[in-house]
Structure 1
Amino acid sequence: MNLVNIALSGMNANRVALDVTAQNVANINTPGYSRQQAVMASLAGGKYDKTSPGMGVEVTSIRRVTDQYLVKQTWSTASAANYASGYTSAMSQLENMLGADGFSLSAGLDSLFASLNDATTKPESTPLRQQVINESEALARRFNTLTESLHNQHKDVHDQRNAAISHANSLMSNIAEVNKQIVEMQGTGGNPAQLMDTRDALVGELSKVMEVKTTDQADGSIQVSLASGQPLVMGSDASVIKAIPDPSDPYLADIHIEFGNQTFAVKGDLGGKLGSLHDYQVDVLKPYQDAIDDMARSLADEMNAVLAAGQDLNGNAGKALFSYDPANPAASLTITDIKSDELAFSSDGNPGNSDNLKDLIAISNKPVSITGFGSLSLNDAFTAMVGETAIKARQAESDYQAKQSMFEQSVAARDNVSAVNSDEEAANLMTFANAHNANMKVISTANQLFDSVLQLF
């Protein structure tokens, strides 16, 4: 009887729909899960039977409810948010470092020039002269510790970059493997919904490391590339990202993409975590290291030049107060073995004459050339550095808050379409269960009709 067959098709279709609903409910708290729907279609009746209403219903497919535009928006905003997060974290660390009392070059410079001013009251005084040497040594140590801290942050950025690259390579390999599984499952008529969720999650993680773009392929796979076009994943093949050290600095690196036998240099903005590390290291950290080296070099050269023009208490030509390695001035800055009576405060050797000492004091206001800051005094240069860092840190924090908000909004938009709604699924359970029971009632009715027919004989 067609009545029974139609009802059986209805039972089977609604059973599948109940299974799909159960799967949705089971994954209501699964991050990144995309809810599914059973897509039903009516079965047509016989070709030559105009009185046939149809042959029932079938589930033609199980639809994965998703909007790839919204998914790609989460990837794009995740990349921007993670760039901003990495950049603001680095800038905040730098701001705290430069603002710490122990790293303040301004405080050290003030103390040194204060000791020089004190010495003008009695230029021949051994204690006052020794105080100048002590403050000079303390200032040199400030340069040493500050540049060491900057160097440690420089190395930390290098380590973070290597870790991010390793993570990205692992993600790309996994995306390529899932691509392969999806193609195989679609080829055998399976439902790759869970695999697609997994792949979306992997691409989402990759977008946090660097900005990516994707292209859907007819076989169900996706191609993944950098925003600047270099290939990352094509089908079941994945690239390998490598950091090539800079010959002039082992903690700086150029990024290269190796895909098969081809190598692509990455010159544009990487975005994401890698982009923030690169931009902070190249645009902020390295220039500041150069500027502090300039300050250390200028301090030593200016002080030594003035001292060389004078005479000490013994009538001898002035000796140098500071020494440094030209290749790394701030890290190597130190004082010489100069004694207090060898400080050339006088131009003529007269113990009470402090004309050369006044020239030393004048260095505090003398403009010197500092990379990135122009020509200004040493104290003003460091103050400008601290101020610039504070401004950049505030801007970075504001940018992070905005980008994080955009990311959260994009996730909410995606979840509004794809996430499981408990109320909706509860209604679906009732609807499909009632439809299933109604089809059972149809079968029961068909059986009663058949029994009634049999009783006629």
Structure 2
Amino acid sequence: MSLINIALSGMNANRVALDVTAQNVANVNTPGYSRQQALMSSVAGGKYDFNSPGMGVEVTSIRRVTDQYLVKQTWSTASEANYSAGYLSAMSQLENMLGADGFSLSAGLDSLFASLNDATTKPESTPLRQQVINESEALARRFNTLTESLHNQHKDVHDQRNAVLSHANSLMANIAQVNKQIVEMQGTGGNASQLMDTRDALIGELSTIMAVKTTDQPDGSVQVSLASGQPLVMGSDSSVIKAIPDPSDPYLADLHIEFGNQTFAAKGDIGGKLGALHDYQVDVLVPNQQAIDDMARSVADEFNAVLAAGLDLNGNPGAPLFTYDPANPAASLDITNITADELAFSADGNPGNSDNLKDLIAISNKPVAISGLGSLSLNDAFTAMVGETAIKARQAESDYQAKKAMSDQAVAARDNVSAVNSDEEAANLMTFANAHNANMKVISTANQLFDSVLQLF
């Protein structure tokens, strides 16, 4: 009977191994699946049965083939790659916007100063004066449309942040739920491999949104936190991340993490797509908006100040050409209801005098203070903004390519260990099937021996 029992144990063990192999083959194309192995151990014979070779074999456990170091590498590199991708996308959009002809402040300034130069040939000419007014209005429209586009991108970043936070909160709740299921399954001796794969996939998805770090717990759960230490998931409990609007700008926000009755401010490098949105908005978009506001304010103030020092065709003191709301200069920049005759080109009241007109032209080279760019001419300020954006966009592209390559390498390293190899599984199928059949042959042989013994009586 020992012969049959030993063979039965071999059949059962190899059947389990075949089931595991079949599961691996079935999931050969499942993203994030970690292949499994049936671990076998010999069953010892009786304590006092010195002639027993053993009692067969048993499957002690089903091993999930994984290297958590490699898995964590995929998370960290995915966070960096998605940060770079998000930052590159925003910078490319800004570069295209500033490079478009309709948004070019340099082109508008060139046209305005060209019209002023044309007016020097005949300062009293009404058509030439009207052309100056027309170009001034066209320049104001460029400021309006450019700042409106920047404002729309500012709002879009805000909307993206809210959508990303909603997704992150859902992922954290799901991770906490899977944590609970894993603890319960391992507590009853079940195989939690699929649940662990699911949890790894959820954490991987969360890492694309923000940089996270994890700590394995003795009960099988995983603790997830921000790279700076604030808790996101602890056991079956998860945090909720909220964006608290900035009082000075409803589209800017500080991130707060609510965990139970505690609230933590998300400080430091957030990473991932969320970090890219924050850094682009705070470091690039808002400073550019401020710089364009400074440029609009300087255009209006400089032109109006020079015109106020001159006289128009009727000998009256010069009237202002531009008007704006100090709270939002670029968006509100406009021309006044000034007429061609009221442009104060003359310094002495003589209609043919163009001394004040020359002072207006000189504004083109006059340094003005622009936030983030220093003291430089209006045209140079916009050119510098466009150039700096182009440089940052190229750097972002280079950084993305490098980080994407690192992420791909990390995934490949993980898959090299954990992914299903069709050839290997095909070989396993033959090995376990042959072993199963061999054990059946042992049982058949045992039956023949038993029948032979019975025939002796």
TM above 0.5, yes or no, is: yes
The CA deviation string for residues 251-294 of structure 1, in whole angstroms up to 9 with x for no partner, is 00000000000000012110000000000000000000000000
Q: d(CA) in 2 for partners of 1:228 and 1:93? A: 30
Residue of structure 1 in register with 2:149 after alignment: 149
Q: d(CA) in 1 for partners of 2:267 and 2:72? A: 24
Q: d(CA) in 2 for partners of 1:72 and 1:36? A: 19
Q: Where does 1:19-58 land on structure 2 (aligned, <5 Å)?
A: 19-58=19-58
1:283 equivalent to 2:291? Answer: no
What stretches of structure 1 of length at least 5 have no aligned partner? none
The CA deviation string for residues 2-30 of structure 1, in whole angstroms up to 9 with x for no partner, is 10000000000000000000000000111
Superposed displacement of residue 414, structure 1: 0.4
Q: d(CA) in 1 for partners of 2:347 and 2:244? A: 54
Q: Which amino acid aligns with 1:54?
A: G
Residue of structure 2 in register with 1:184 after alignment: 184
Residue of structure 1 in register with 2:274 after alignment: 274
Q: d(CA) in 2 for partners of 1:296 and 1:29? A: 57
Residue of structure 2 in register with 1:380 after alignment: 380
1:339 equivalent to 2:339? Answer: yes
Q: d(CA) in 1 for partners of 2:379 and 2:249? A: 28
Superposed displacement of residue 347, structure 1: 1.1
The CA deviation string for residues 306-359 of structure 1, in whole angstroms up to 9 with x for no partner, is 000000000100000000000000000000000000000001110000000000
Residue of structure 1 in register with 2:306 after alignment: 306
Percent identity reads: 89
Residue of structure 2 in register with 1:100 after alignment: 100
Q: Which amino acid aligns with 2:322?
A: F
Residue of structure 1 in register with 2:133 after alignment: 133
Residue of structure 1 in register with 2:85 after alignment: 85
Q: d(CA) in 2 for partners of 1:218 and 1:446? A: 46
Q: d(CA) in 2 for partners of 1:369 and 1:185? A: 66
Q: Where does 1:113-262 land on structure 2 (aligned, <5 Å)?
A: 113-262=113-262
Q: Secondary structure at the match of 2:263?
A: strand
Q: Which amino acid aligns with 1:204?
A: G
TM-score, L = length of structure 2: 1.00
Q: Which amino acid aligns with 1:17?
A: A
Runs (4+) of structure 1 exceeding 4 A deviation are none
The alignment of Structure 1 onto Structure 2 pairs a total of residues equal to 457
Q: Secondary structure at the match of 2:337?
A: coil
Q: Which amino acid aligns with 1:163?
A: A
Q: d(CA) in 1 for partners of 2:265 and 2:429? A: 54
Residue of structure 1 in register with 2:62 after alignment: 62
Q: d(CA) in 1 for partners of 2:434 and 2:267? A: 61
Q: d(CA) in 2 for partners of 1:19 and 1:423? A: 17
Superposed displacement of residue 128, structure 1: 0.1
Q: d(CA) in 1 for partners of 2:113 and 2:43? A: 95
Q: Which amino acid aligns with 1:22?
A: A
Residue of structure 2 in register with 1:348 after alignment: 348
Q: Secondary structure at the match of 2:325?
A: coil
The CA deviation string for residues 230-261 of structure 1, in whole angstroms up to 9 with x for no partner, is 00000000000000000000000000000000
Q: d(CA) in 1 for partners of 2:425 and 2:116? A: 81
Q: Secondary structure at the match of 2:33?
A: coil
Residue of structure 2 in register with 1:17 after alignment: 17
Q: Secondary structure at the match of 1:244?
A: strand
Output the aligned Cα RMSD.
Answer: 0.4
Q: d(CA) in 1 for partners of 2:297 and 2:290? A: 10
Q: d(CA) in 2 for partners of 1:298 and 1:66? A: 62
Q: Secondary structure at the match of 2:250?
A: strand
Q: Secondary structure at the match of 2:84?
A: helix
Q: Secondary structure at the match of 1:394?
A: helix
Q: d(CA) in 2 for partners of 1:8 and 1:145? A: 81
Superposed displacement of residue 202, structure 1: 0.2
Q: d(CA) in 2 for partners of 1:344 and 1:162? A: 51
Q: d(CA) in 2 for partners of 1:266 and 1:237? A: 18
The CA deviation string for residues 174-207 of structure 1, in whole angstroms up to 9 with x for no partner, is 0000000000000111100000000000000000
TM-score, L = length of structure 1: 1.00
Q: d(CA) in 2 for partners of 1:205 and 1:332? A: 43
What stretches of structure 2 of length at least 5 have no aligned partner? none
Superposed displacement of residue 49, structure 1: 1.2
1:111 equivalent to 2:96? Answer: no
Q: d(CA) in 2 for partners of 1:88 and 1:318? A: 48
Q: d(CA) in 1 for partners of 2:21 and 2:267? A: 48
